[in-house]
Amino acid sequence: MNEIQSQTAGGPLDGPAGLRIDARQIQQIFVRYKLLALLLAVALIWLFFWAKTGGTFLTPRSLSNLFLQMSVTGMLACGMVFVIIAGEIDLSVGSLLGLLGGLVAILTVNFEWNTWLAVSVVLAAGMLIGMANGFVTTRMRIPSFIVGLGGMLAFRGLLQWGTDAVTIAPVPDDLVMIAQGFVPPAISGWLAAAIVAAAGYLTVQRRRNRARLALPSAPAWADALRLAAIAVVVIGFVAVLNRANGVPIPVLILLVLLAVFSYVAMQTVFGRHVYAVGGNVEATRLSGVNVDRVKLAVFALMGLMCAFAGIITTARSAAGSPSAGIGGELDAISACFIGGTSMRGGSGTVYGALIGALVMASLDNGMQQMNVDSSWQMIVKGFVLVLAVWIDVLSGSNRG
């Protein structure tokens, strides 16, 4: 009886030939290699849709459209992952995306502003609105869930009022090129080489720093294998997209944001404060960190990402639509949870959130190519989200 209880409680299980399998150890392996598991999931999804679409899913043009489709969700996820790590949530990002995308259309079409001036104003407006959300959350002590819910309604109403509920078109050609343009193949090749070189430089610097501090480092062969994998992925990524006119500009913007946000999260004091606030807000406050200022900055970054996403959405459709961004908040939050961000805060990565965005975009793109009914598309995406949160719960119980 005691043996049965130990097995059902997650204790060691006796396998064939005396092999003992510890469920807790399996969870630890999964948590440790979560990124590898995500990449494996993406590979399986791609193979499934490749088989079901007769190979068209993995053609260069299809993959180019896939990465272009994920760029908007990825931009939102870059900001949302910081919000969730800090222990908050923002449900207004879809409506704010639509409002800011509509604003850039109004300024360039109705008021005939210069495109780059309008883009600059919209980016600043996004940051200011994000700061306002953070102010209401931190200073007025209104839960971020309620602030986001109110913003979802208010921003959508402002968009409907500002556009008279009609599409504003056509936007200027130079604005359209932000989303519909491509990086020339020659430049893409140099960018790929620069990324690989930067990865190598950072690896060498990390090994030197750890040696200077007398800290253990990974074996040299492991770092070499990691760099080789990065080189293969980057060069293959660029080579495939170059066969379909080149790397889309929104994808390039997303890669730059990935590098910036990853550096901020992992290499700056502000990034460490964000993780600390989400992990234990009271202990962080007692240690002298200005928690309200950290959260205010996080919401400001979220607003800035909404501005980027709104501009790309308007440029891609060449028009400002009153329905733009509907459901964007759900896609961004789902991407974060699928990518391993903890719903309890204090844990998560930017690159994990972007892989989660890639999972969401792959499901959307693949099911659309298979002509799957939209109702089933929502069912599948909902199931994937619940599965991701369940895995997070297992990981949390394992850490506890």
**Helix ranges, the chain (H):** 2-8, 23-32, 34-52, 60-85, 93-105, 115-138, 144-163, 173-180, 185-212, 220-242, 249-267, 269-279, 281-286, 291-317, 328-338, 350-369, 374-399
pTM of the model: 0.87
Phi first, then psi, for residue 267 (nearest 5°) are: -120, 5
Q: Which residue has the tokens 């550096």?
A: 263
In order of 105, 113, 180, 387, the CA distances from 175 in angstroms are 9, 11, 9, 39
Sequential pLDDT tens for the chain (400 residues):
444 444 444 444 444 444 444 555 555 555 556 777 788 888 899 999 999 999 899 999 999 999 998 999 999 999 999 999 999 999 999 999 999 999 999 999 999 999 999 999 999 999 999 999 999 999 999 999 999 999 999 999 999 999 999 999 999 999 999 999 999 888 888 888 888 888 888 788 878 878 888 888 778 888 888 788 888 888 888 889 998 888 999 999 998 898 899 889 888 899 999 999 999 999 999 999 999 999 999 999 999 999 999 999 999 999 999 999 998 999 999 999 988 888 888 888 898 899 999 999 999 999 999 998 988 888 988 888 888 777 767 665 444 4
Tokens of 384: 């994937």
The answer to whether 121 and 286 have CB atoms below 8 angstroms apart is: no
Q: For the chain, how far is it from start to end, CA to CA, in angstroms?
A: 26
- HSE (CB half, 13 Å, CA atoms) of 219? 3
State how far the Cα of 292 lies from the Cα of 285, in Å rounded to an integer. Answer: 9
Please report which helix (H) or strand (E) contains residue 13, including its range.
strand 12-14
- What pairs with residue 208 in β-bridges? none
86: number of Cβ within 10 Å: 26
State how far the Cα of 170 lies from the Cα of 108, in Å rounded to an integer. Answer: 9
Say how far residue 89 (Cα) sits from the centre of its chain: 14
For 89, counting Cβ atoms within 10 Å of its Cβ (0-12 exposed, 13-18 middle, 19+ buried), the class is buried
What does the domain layout of the chain look like in residue ranges? 185-245
State how far the Cα of 70 lies from the Cα of 196, in Å rounded to an integer. Answer: 23
The answer to whether 310 and 101 have CB atoms below 8 angstroms apart is: yes
